Amino acid sequence: MSDQIVRPTSRLLVLDEDDRLLLMKTVAPDSTRAARWITPGGGVDPGETHVEAAIRELREETGQVVTDVGEVVRVDDFEVTWDDADHTHGHAEFYVVRLPHFEVSDDGWTDEERTDILESRWFGLDDLTTTDEPVEPEDLADLVRLILSDASAS
């Protein structure tokens, strides 16, 4: 049995004033190079907290600067099945950030992001539930629906 290598990540559910969710179409770390839509975010660097990583990743991947991402709204622990990944398991913590609609800036992208990020797009809940393209996590529409219903109840 091989050792587990866990990659901690921070993911951001970025919602605009019209309740659209920002997603990025990226290439999976797999020899198939399959594309899927994911939320902005990425790995937690050594010595960094999940919150610090979320704030940094938002700035790097979108150009948006915030000082607070609130509380964790979801935690996912999962096995990684991609054949070209450098880890066997993932630990993702999700945060919600509400921002006015913006265009993504790639000024802070790493060389790897310039290769792996194919495009970005804002998805309404209807778009998210009807797309036939892969979305990760698979139940992302349910999570967004829950967040929007919690927000309207407050």
Tell me what pLDDT residue 82 has: 63
In a domain, 117, yes or no: yes
Tokens standing for 89? 């398991």
In a domain, 1, yes or no: no
- CATH classification at residue 86: 3.90.79.10
Give the mean model confidence (pLDDT) for residues 10-24.
Answer: 98
Contact residues for 128 (Cβ-Cβ < 8 A; gap 6+): 21, 135, 140, 141, 144
Quickly state the pLDDT bin for 62 (edges 50, 70, 90).
very high
Is the pLDDT at 83 greater than 90? The verdict is no
Give me the chain's average pLDDT, please. Answer: 90
Which residue range is the domain that position 86 belongs to?
Answer: 6-153
Q: Are strands 6-15 and 89-98 parallel, antiparallel or unpaired?
A: parallel
| pLDDT digits 0-9 by tens, 119-138 | 999 999 999 999 999 999 99
Number of domains, the chain: 1
Quickly state the pLDDT bin for 69 (edges 50, 70, 90).
very high
Between the CA of residue 117 and those of 104, 105, 112, what are the distances in Å?
12, 12, 8
Quickly state the pLDDT bin for 1 (edges 50, 70, 90).
very low
In a domain, 76, yes or no: yes
Global pTM? 0.91
> How far is the C-alpha of 59 from the C-alpha of 48, rounded, in Å?
15
In a domain, 85, yes or no: yes
> How far is the C-alpha of 88 from the C-alpha of 6, rounded, in Å?
6
Quickly state the pLDDT bin for 77 (edges 50, 70, 90).
confident
What distance, in Å, lies between the first and last C-alpha atoms of the chain?
A: 48
